[in-house]
Amino acid sequence: MKDILTAPFMTEMIRTATNMYAHGWDERNGGNISMLLDEAETAGYLAIPGIVRTIPTGFEAPGLDGKIFLVTGTGKYFKNVQYDPAKNLGIVRLAENGTEAEVLWGFSDGGRFTSEFPAHVMSHIARMRTDPLNRVIMHCHPGNLLAMTYVHDLDERAFTRTLWQMCTECIVVFPDGVNVLPWMLCGTNEIGEATAEKMETARLVVWAQHGIYGAGRDLDETFGLIETAEKAAEIYLKIAHLPIKNTITDDEMHLLETRFGVKARDGYLD
């Protein structure tokens, strides 16, 4: 067996968690990531079946039995992932209609996956319905997006249009826009279901007064989505209290659509 800490999916996960912490998005034990692994990429790194122990998930996820996820641990700090990946991360395989998670590696101190795992798994299911190649769900607390939910209308069209207007590249990076959930109790199946429903139409879902969920085909894409939306929110907070003299018009947005071959969400541009 090769050293799993040298597997590309593992080094990418460690770098991403470290980078998210460095961006200030994951204070204390804030944030969580899950990445769907395909069995072929774990070959040579993981002995299958090799079940270390089994943890009840507290939810049902029909159709996902046998799916393997690399996921961050509950109560664990992103800043520590790079120093002890085996304690702060784990690899689990879903079984028994998703009601059980078989630990294949990690959570070495007896820990378990993030308390937001229900929201992650439901979001994976929802995203894969829209994009079968989706593999990553990422949650964090970027300061500017979070601040924006205190002062900006939470209407999804209005919120999205404001972000698109803040940087030229926004509509190119997230033409599907940003969906928004009002404040809800986190760690519950209810917020998981609500997030998953929002994930069917956009890869970014803001949790008001809490943070954001992102989805993508790999860690870079998902990180980049959140990074771009967060940059736009930063610009918004720099200018929202000033008289606005210029903006990116809808006509200019249409030029961006043509130039970059993207289609803005239906009804979001005039």
Instruction: Kindly list the residues in this chain that would bind Zn ion in the complex (CB under 5 A).
Output: 211
Question: Is the Cβ of residue 211 or residue 214 nearer to Zn ion in the bound state?
Answer: 211
Q: Work out how close the CB of 66 gets to Zn ion at its nearest, in angstroms, rounded to a whole number.
A: 28
DSSP SS3 for 178: strand
Q: Work out how close the CB of 26 gets to Zn ion at its nearest, in angstroms, rounded to a whole number.
A: 9
Question: Is the Cβ of residue 98 or residue 211 nearer to Zn ion in the bound state?
Answer: 211
Q: How far apart are CA 142 and CA 231, in angstroms?
A: 10
Question: Is the Cβ of residue 32 or residue 134 nearer to Zn ion in the bound state?
Answer: 32
Q: How far apart are CA 224 and CA 173, in angstroms?
A: 8
The contacts of residue 9 (CB under 8 Å, 6+ apart) are 35, 37, 41, 42, 70
Contact 221, 209 (CB under 8 A): no
The contacts of residue 206 (CB under 8 Å, 6+ apart) are 145, 149, 159, 178, 179, 180, 181, 212, 213
- Catalytic annotation on 39? no
DSSP string, 83-130: T-HHHHEEEEEEETTTTEEEEEEE-TTS--B-TTHHHHHHHHHHHHHH
The contacts of residue 58 (CB under 8 Å, 6+ apart) are 118, 189
Question: Is the Cβ of residue 145 or residue 167 nearer to Zn ion in the bound state?
Answer: 145
Q: Work out how close the CB of 141 gets to Zn ion at its nearest, in angstroms, rounded to a whole number.
A: 6
Question: Is the Cβ of residue 142 or residue 211 nearer to Zn ion in the bound state?
Answer: 211
Catalytic residue among 27, 60, 96, 116: 116
Q: Work out how close the CB of 197 gets to Zn ion at its nearest, in angstroms, rounded to a whole number.
A: 18
Q: Work out how close the CB of 91 gets to Zn ion at its nearest, in angstroms, rounded to a whole number.
A: 22
- Residues with a known catalytic role: 116
